[in-house]
Structure 1
Amino acid sequence: MTRTFASPFRVMPLARLAKGGRWRTEAMRSYGAPVLLWFTRGQGRITLNGKTAGYTAHNCVFIPAGTMHGFEMNNAVAGMIVVFPPGLEQELSLPEEPVHLRLTDAEQHIELNRLIDAIQTELEHGAAASERALISHAGLLSVWLERQIGEDEVETPREDATTRLAAAFAALVEQDFHSAKTVRDYAKALGVTPTHLSRVCNKACGRPASAILADRVHYEARRLLTETHLPVKDIATALGFASPAYFTRAFAQHTGRSPSQFRRRG
């Protein structure tokens, strides 16, 4: 008899990640675990650490835990997501920085599909020693990633002042989005004016600093509303809003629905 092995590893279609609305993929957010996105069909734009680039079919993107990101995903996009267990980054020798691979060789596609299928099969039919087997398969996937880094297919953002400032802003937002800090506060911490920070963010990812900050805050609000039973007033407090009423107004302006309406409709 087969059984599903209870494991912090997860493999699922990208379509499942998008279930519940575009905010699940497009809004700026991060995960507490490393993830690998494997786009097998379609195209769009993906933002990693404040830098936006295009992706197409046969692109593979590795995103370390705690990296703020978001990507466009319409009905034409298909692929898989692999979620690694948090805390195993060093053991598995996973990359410390985001990696965007543009795989042009059919052998690369076959190899990556095989590695992902092996993890998925172990999750679905795991028996004794499945956890060891999963770590071994994940290790092989990590080796595959390491071998691709440095090849021509790797997307390496140019490290200019704009890229560095946008990435620094994204990192600070990820660290402090639950506080009441404004764009002015972040700009002061980075030693620039709010106007310059917004200009840089617009250049790097096509949206001003205020939109990036609001996106991150309201993604977390929507996540808490759909995935927890926390009262709205507690969510408002957790995200640094001065009052539940202010949170409700801001949330409605951002999403078109009140927090209670959003929670009821999922």
Structure 2
Amino acid sequence: MITVNQTEIPEDKILAEMQYHPADSRREAMFSAAEALIIGELFRQRAKSLGIPVSDDTVESSDEDFIEALIEQEVAIPEATDQDCRQYYEANPSKFETSPLLELKHILLTVPKEDDAGRAEAKVRADALLDILKGGADFSKLARRESNCPSKETGGSLGQISKGQTVAEFERQVFAAEPGLMPRPVESRYGFHLVFIERKIPGRSLPYEEVSGQIADYLNDKVRRKAIAQYIQVLISEAEIEGYDFQVDGSPLMQ
């Protein structure tokens, strides 16, 4: 049985709360649910002590109408200044660039990811086709004959792509490559790709004025989460909690 300052949190409440805390195991889900209910009860008790209206339905973590009022009254949350935003912008230039664009074509040899033998055979075939291409064969003609992708109808052309439009393992390799025939087959969850990059258009830096609001929102949210986590830690340290070993530093709620 868990009690928070002599207020009991029934086991059936924890079991009901678990549906909102998916985890790798039932044990982890139960711990997360218990922590959420404990913190909810601490919020409720503190709000009541300050005269903030709170529902009489105890330890219902979904009832959060009073929490914003409590945080506004109890937690000092500074807002990011223009200087803070500019410093973040200057320290993270790569985060404020448009995606580069690639114009490319490919030949895809499809094989299921779990088919190890098929993968080995497809790799041998991909290497052989790559040697043919290195010898001067026409990429588009070979794509029409060998590719398993619908793009074979247009000579393997995928047109113009930006980051986020293809699977990560394919994207990571092609965007790091230079124009021309890639020297090795690219493996993805779909199989093996022979890739010819026709054109690479670099991304452009976004001006500070265009992203300052986005940066301020990010920094403010980060500071807010940290301040609330520290406030929760104070509430826990001052409370009498029985039936649960509250490891604040290891809690996912503290991240």
TM-score category (smaller protein): under 0.3
Normalising to structure 1: TM-score of the pair? Answer: 0.20
Normalising to structure 2: TM-score of the pair? Answer: 0.21
Greater length-normalized contact order (CA 8 Å, ≥ 6 residues apart): 2
Larger of the two Rg values belongs to structure = 2
